[in-house]
Amino acid sequence: NAGVMQNPRHLVRRRGQEARLRCSPMKGHSHVYWYRQLPEEGLKFMVYLQKENIIDESGMPKERFSAEFPKEGPSILRIQQVVRGDSAAYFCASSFRAWDRSTNTEAFFGQGTRLTVV
């Protein structure tokens, strides 16, 4: 897990506020993946980004959620007008190349941001 930095580690928001979750990938990694994990469940894919581009956002809710990975700086997962159901742990992973079998690449996960909506 060392190398992929997520902040904050814990985030508390009131219903209706915005939440911004940051992910700094490992040095040299240009591929970032965001996942959401509800209590007692596995991680569910949300979005895959490669520097300045969203490659696949099929796992992300159509409303209130957005993600970006600018040329400079961390990847940001933004949740607008949060609701209690958004409370979860959000993990990001990064890889040097696209994380698929053709590249035999491993992805490394951060320690997650635990979002609590009150």
Closest approach of other proteins to the CB of residue 90, in Å:
10
58 lies in the binding site for other proteins (CB under 8 A): yes
114 lies in the binding site for other proteins (CB under 8 A): yes
Nearest-5° Cα angle at 42, 37 to 47: 55
69 lies in the binding site for other proteins (CB under 8 A): no
R_g (Cα) of the chain, nearest Å: 14
76 lies in the binding site for other proteins (CB under 8 A): no
The span from the CA of 94 to the CA of 76, in Å, is 13
The span from the CA of 4 to the CA of 89, in Å, is 15
For residue 10, which phi and psi values (nearest 5 degrees)?
Answer: -130, 140
Q: Which is nearer to other proteins, 48 or 65 (CB)?
A: 48
By CB under 8 A, how many residues form the interface with other proteins? 30
Binding site for other proteins (CB under 8 A): 1, 4, 31, 33, 35, 40-45, 48, 56, 58-59, 91, 93, 95, 98-101, 106-112, 114
